[in-house]
Amino acid sequence: MNVPTGTADVLLRTEGRAGFLTLDRPRAINALTHTMVLALDAALTDWEHDPAVTTVVIEGAGERGLCAGGDIRAIHDDARAGGSASAAFWRDEYRLNALIARYPKPYVALMDGIVMGGGVGVSAHGSVRVVTERSRVAMPETGIGFVPDVGGTYLLGRAPGELGTHLALTGGHVGAADAILTGLADHFVPSAELPSLVRDLTRLPAEEAVARHTATPPPGVLAEQREWIDACYPAETVESVVERLFDAGLPAAKEAATTLLAKSPTALKTTLATLRRSRALATLEEVLDLEFRVSCAALTSPDLVEGIRAQVVDKDRNPRWTPATLSEVTDESVARSFAVPAGGDLGLAAARQDQANRQAAGQAADDRPALRPAAEDRAPRDRA
User: Which of 65, 113, 118, 161 is labelled catalytic?
Assistant: 118
Integer Cα distance of 301 and 142 in angstroms: 13
Give the count of beta carbons closer than 10 Å to the beta carbon of residue 242.
21
CB–CB of 342/84 below 8 Å? no
Give the count of beta carbons closer than 10 Å to the beta carbon of residue 374.
21
Active site includes 149?
yes
Residue 41: exposed, middle, or buried by beta-carbon count in 10 A (0-12, 13-18, 19+)?
A: middle
User: Which of 19, 70, 151, 183 is labelled catalytic?
Assistant: 70
Nearest CA-CA partner of 266 in 94, 156, 143, 118? 143
Active site includes 145?
no
Active site includes 243?
no
User: Which of 149, 285, 303, 376 is labelled catalytic?
Assistant: 149
Handedness of CA 155, 303, 172, 113 (dihedral sign): positive
Q: What are phi and psi of 65, to 5 degrees?
A: 165, 170
User: Which of 141, 200, 303, 376 is labelled catalytic?
Assistant: 141
Could you tell me whether strands 65-67 and 55-60 are parallel, antiparallel, or unpaired per DSSP bridges? unpaired
Tell me the CA distances in angstroms from 123 to 90, 116, 213, one per residue in order.
Answer: 16, 10, 19
State which H helix or E strand residue 60 sits in: strand 55-60
Total residue length of the chain: 384
Active site includes 118?
yes
Residue 375, Cα to own-chain centre: how many angstroms? 13
Q: Which residue numbers are catalytic?
A: 70, 118, 141, 149
